[in-house]
Chains A and B, each alone.
Chain A
Amino acid sequence: MRKILMSATCLGALSVPAMAEVSDGVVKIGILNDQSGVYADFGGKYSVAAAEMAVEDFGGKVLDAPVQVINADHQNKPDVASNIARQWYDTEQVDAIMELTTSSVGLAVQALSLEKKKITINTGAATTELTGPACTPFGFHWAYDTHALAVGTGGAIVDQGGDSWFFLTADYAFGYALEGSTSEVVTAKGGTVAGSVRHPLATTDFSSFLLQAQSSGAKVIGLANAGLDTQNSIKQAAEFGIVTSGQRLAALLFTLAEVHGLGLDVAQGLTLTESFYWDRNDESREFATRFKERTGMMPNMNHAGTYSAVMSYLKAIEAAGTDETEAVAAKLHELPVSDAFTQTGKVGPNGRLISDVYLFEVKSPDESTGEFDYYKLLATIPGDQAYADPAQSGCPLVQ
């Protein structure tokens, strides 16, 4: 008996080296986002599905170790997010946390992950702070940020003749940041800003603001707000016939999921920026069709970005030959990104994924030929124009 036990132990010891590159013999990825609140469509369970798809497409294993995806609903509360993230790192051997919708959560978990020496890949939060002053060697930002949105929507519309702007701005820091960076781009391109009006956060009546915007005579009305505020302003703009009377409505943060929620009747003519559209090439179509079969929804840039983030993370582990954080982070910085999300992505030294972003116009119900046929491509903005130059991002790692 003892002999058997001994040999069993030896056998066990022998089989360890094959798995030794991967800590605890499993690669665990945590998807932490809002699954019940206002961002449940923007990310939510759809992002979890995207992450699971990436693992399946990768083969379910990396360096012979199984890959596992776990998820949690942070309910838009940074303390819940921080609590779960710590617990994942401390007791559940999670190797990386991704998605992280909302800026406060993103910043909190990225800071925590630096302390715990783990990797985060943010797709859901918008703030440029993540790859700016708050950047870390292990923190990455995929999919989009406020800079790309401003350049995409601001710059490209001016190029197309929309050279006078009026802003409808949510009255808080996020709104000011969006308005500020967009008007910078607009004036740099030779456009003018006719004025702006600030509306309180979470207001329901936009009529006086919209009338002001309408009477300003500006060609473009920029909506520097988010979530429900954007949806409400678009709905009421449709009631005032703003788009049909020739003014252009540009939402600075709006994705396919929200367009789907509003419907084409209301959203038609809206201009917006995303870094992904399902109907762009064969690869994205193939991914999106599978995604829809699984979830009933077409992916937006956050969902596709999560797929890409998980995929890139697994590729980096494979290339590094280990799941040790520093080695994987180095590979993530080094490897080009090419998958269903983008073919030409590269990662800056500040952790920013630099990929092309696109300016779209929402089709009218007549133009739309099928379910989820929502966008017309207006312009493609190359990644190095869309995103801030890492050297100028304010990231202390680059200077």
Chain B
Amino acid sequence: MAHPTSGPAAGPQIREIRSAGTIRMAIPLVALAAALIAPFWFYPIFVMKFLCFALFAAAFNLLLGYTGLLSFGHAAFFGGGAYFTAHVVKIWGLTPELGLIVGTLGAAALGLVIGAIALRRSGIYFTMITLALAQMFYFFCLQAPFTHGEDGLQLGPRGHLFGVIDLGQAMNLYYFVLAVVLIGMFVIWRFVNSPFGMILRSIRDNEQRAISLGYSVQAYKLGAFVMSAALSGLAGGLKALVFQLATLTDVAWQMSGEVVLMTLIGGIGTQAGPVVGSGVFIALQNNLATSDFPVTIIMGVVFMVCVLVFRRGIVGNSLPRASGGRLG
């Protein structure tokens, strides 16, 4: 982190930028290679769960990190996507990929409604409205007959992708999940690095100026909100397929909190942050489950340490300020 802020020697600075560029190229490639061989090292279902949550956190980060909107209702989209996918796969007998599409579209529709209402306010009011509407959706799920209340929806066998590839095989399922998550991540990356994404960041940094430049801020925010909701729904649907179940846990407000936590631990406004954050979170959740430590207390301590000591998250803090996210 020897980062010369000023100085006559331009050489090291250029070298540093160049090496930062190489690192930036190298990290995704290493991550991709790791993802391809991960199921041979780790338990595949665990890695799949991590991938689902990584996509969920990345979708959430699209809103919090790049648009500056803190939604506390993302469980509705994640759980909604899970329920929609599970329902159409189980009851209508659709193939998994069609189920995912339904889950994504359903969550997008939900996002459109909730976003359109919540975005009429900003700041803490926006956050509270998303929470309230997500809770409404939770109680709807609690009572609606198709969700089977607290019994949850259990899917039968995993079915065949495109009617051909057997997803009952752990490896087939793994590479399917990996492919979907990579597509989702790519969409987010394209989105963030497009003119649309630039406008979102300008809204985040100075909303008044964006308005004065003539952008219809409201529409851009809603666009980002729906996008984030749809990708959360995709993650939820994927999780429903992996675990063959959709339950109230996915729509409960705790889930909205967990995704905030994952993003915070990893680093808000960085591409890799949510992935790292969800990895840490899921690993803790799973490994502590079989230990003698109280899971919830340790999670709370991790959160506190994160907020107090490294506010920019694991990824945010290990990157130099210029190339890392803001918020420091």
Contact = CB atoms under 8 A, between A and B. Distances in A.
B151 A104 contact: yes
A107 B150 CA distance: 10
Contacts of A83: 45-46, 49, 243, 286
B289 A107 contact: no
Nearest to B249: A77
Nearest to A115: B157
Contacts of A112: 244
B243 A108 contact: yes
A87 B245 contact: no
B45 A173 contact: no
B294 A36 contact: yes
Contacts of B142: 172-173, 201
Contact of A104 (B43, B150, B157, B244): B150
Given A104-B248, A108-B245, A173 B290 contact: no
Contact of B290 (A70, A78, A129): A70
B261 to A, nearest CB: 14
A75 B150 contact: no
Contacts, number: 97
A42 to B, nearest CB: 15
A134 B154 contact: yes
A103 B286 contact: no
Nearest to A106: B151
B143 A79 contact: no
Contact of A75 (B143, B152, B244, B296): B296
Most-contacted residue by chain B among A115, A127, A173 (CB, 10 A): A173
A73 B289 contact: yes
A351 B44 CA distance: 32
A173 B286 contact: no
Given A104-B151, A174-B149, A76 B249 contact: yes
Contacts of B74: none
A107 B290 contact: no
A8 interface: no
B148 interface: yes
A107 B143 CA distance: 19
B109 interface: no
A64 B23 CA distance: 57
Interface string A81-111: 0111011001100000000001110011001
Interface string B42-75: 0101100100000000000000000000000000
B112 interface: no
Contacts of A102: 150
A171 B245 CA distance: 23
Interface string B140-181: 001100001111101001000000000000000000000000
B133 interface: no
Interface of A: 35-37, 70-80, 82-84, 86-87, 90-91, 102-104, 107-108, 111-112, 115, 127, 129, 134, 171-174, 200-201
24 contacts: A36-B296, A37-B296, A72-B289, A72-B290, A73-B289, A73-B295, A77-B249, A78-B247, A79-B243, A79-B247, A82-B243, A83-B45, A83-B46, A84-B286, A87-B46, A103-B151, A104-B151, A104-B152, A107-B151, A107-B152, A108-B152, A173-B142, A173-B149, A173-B151
Interface of B: 43, 45-46, 49, 139, 142-143, 148-152, 154, 157, 239, 243-245, 247-250, 285-286, 288-290, 294-297
